[in-house]
Chain A
Amino acid sequence: MIAEPAGVRRWVKHALTSQTHRPPAWGCRARAHALLCMTKHLTGDCKPRIVRTMAKIIPFRRPPEEPPLEPLHERAMDNLAFIRQTMERAGSFTAVSGWGQVVIGITGVLAAWLASRQASPENWLATWSVAAVVAMGIGVVTTGMKARAIGEPIRSGPGRKFVLSLAPPLVAGAVLTLVLFRAGMAGMLPGLWLLLYGAGIVGAGTNSVRVVPVMGFSSMLLGVAALLAPAAWGDAFMAVGFGALHVVFGTVIARRYGG
């Protein structure tokens, strides 16, 4: 017989009689268990056991019938938007400087005013040639500044495509200018310039923001109009096509695409 302490005996009595089970301290409880086994089953080798009952988990809210689809769907949308954004940034040339275009436009208007005051055709052509070189310089410098500011590579990728599609019509324009001027057809030059410049901008602008090809298209239309109109209006068409168009679209680009 195990010598049971008085505490244990009291606990067993309490457990057998009372309805409320208040658990006693651990060691006491184990010994009481052994004692109970002996009294009930008349065996001595009853090891104390702990019966762990698993609690049944009943959630407060019932689980949704379908897996939550919205987040997945939103994430997919988000991913697609991200891809598109990256492709646009990587594939399009956004470094066209709006303010640069405005300055080029002002140069154009000034050149048109100066050219209209020239008496000889040679001086007239020289004025426009200087204006073209100055405008090109402004374009290159302002575009380079913007490209650096927004961290866009200018010599490769989209920038390279932009230049490569703009250059051929300009070269063709320069050659045709020489040929037509020698043939004494200087009156056709403004229309030709606007048409070819517009063509170059449309081509180059396919890799850029939407307004750029629109500007090129407007320039082409004005070029056609200039070719059909009397030759005396040439400088006026240049003032509008090379000057005003640049100012207007440059402002749009600067406002909408930052600088």
Chain B
Amino acid sequence: MARASAAERLRSVAGGAETAAPELDRLIHERVRLAIVSALAVNESLAFNELKDMLSLTDGNLSVHARKLEEAGYVQCTKTFEGRVPRTEFRLTDEGRGALGRYLDHMEAIIQAVRDR
């Protein structure tokens, strides 16, 4: 009985492919984007190069993923000039913070459901 209920709970949160797809935030689920959002969650703002070094990414890789997050409204990107050198700063929006929170809850629920079995 307990086994069935745990399985049901899990299915409700992540189970079959048809329910999992809309619930799991694909945008954040991807590793690089998850790293970007996590790093920004503990820093008010990070410059492009800092983020790149911190996560050991290439320029192209970071800019592509950052743009996806920006398009979704999870990350705010401001471009300024320091003298002649352009400087790109990223910060997490409230929406992005909420998305990370939901993602964490989701992962926790999956673990909890298995642990309860």
Q: Which residues of A are interface residues toward B (Cβ below 8 A)?
A: 66-67, 69-70, 72-73, 76-77, 79-80, 82-83, 86-87, 89-91, 151-153, 156-158
- Kindly provide the distance from the CB of A165 to the nearest chain B CB, expressed in whole angstroms: 15
For the complex, is B71 an interface residue (Cβ under 8 Å from A)?
Answer: no
Q: How far is the CA of A66 from the CA of B15 in the complex (A)?
A: 10
- Kindly provide the distance from the CB of B31 to the nearest chain A CB, expressed in whole angstroms: 7
Q: How far is the CA of A91 from the CA of B41 in the complex (A)?
A: 9
For the complex, is B7 an interface residue (Cβ under 8 Å from A)?
Answer: yes
| Besides A90-B43, A156-B43, 9 new A-B residue pairs in contact (Cβ under 8 A), listed by A number | A69-B7, A79-B34, A82-B31, A82-B35, A83-B104, A87-B41, A89-B39, A90-B39, A91-B42
A151 pairs with B56, CB closer than 8 A: yes
B42 pairs with A69, CB closer than 8 A: no
A86 pairs with B55, CB closer than 8 A: yes
- For B39, list chain A residues within 8 Å (CB): 86-87, 89-90
For the complex, is B38 an interface residue (Cβ under 8 Å from A)?
Answer: yes
Q: How far is the CA of A73 from the CA of B50 in the complex (A)?
A: 32
Flag B41-83 by CB within 8 Å of A: 1 or 0 each.
Answer: 1110011011001111000000000000000000000000000
For the complex, is B111 an interface residue (Cβ under 8 Å from A)?
Answer: yes
Decide yes or no: A67 and B15 within 8 Å by CB, A79-B107, A83-B34, A151-B53 being known contacts: yes
Interface of A is mostly: helix
Q: How far is the CA of A90 from the CA of B39 in the complex (A)?
A: 5
B50 pairs with A157, CB closer than 8 A: yes
Q: What residue of chain A has the Cβ atom nearest to residue B4's Cβ?
A: A66
- For B14, list chain A residues within 8 Å (CB): 72
Decide yes or no: A77 and B111 within 8 Å by CB, A67-B15, A151-B53, A152-B54 being known contacts: yes
- Kindly provide the distance from the CB of B12 to the nearest chain A CB, expressed in whole angstroms: 13
Q: What residue of chain B has the Cβ atom nearest to residue A84's Cβ?
A: B38
Sample (20) of A-B pairs whose CB atoms are under 8 Å apart: A66-B7, A69-B7, A72-B14, A73-B113, A76-B111, A79-B34, A80-B104, A80-B111, A86-B34, A87-B41, A89-B54, A90-B38, A90-B46, A91-B43, A151-B54, A153-B47, A153-B54, A156-B43, A156-B50, A157-B50
Q: What residue of chain B has the Cβ atom nearest to residue A89's Cβ?
A: B54
Q: What residue of chain A has the Cβ atom nearest to residue B46's Cβ?
A: A157
- For A67, list chain B residues within 8 Å (CB): 15-16
B110 pairs with A73, CB closer than 8 A: yes
Q: What residue of chain B has the Cβ atom nearest to residue A85's Cβ?
A: B38
Q: What residue of chain A has the Cβ atom nearest to residue B106's Cβ?
A: A76
A72 pairs with B110, CB closer than 8 A: yes
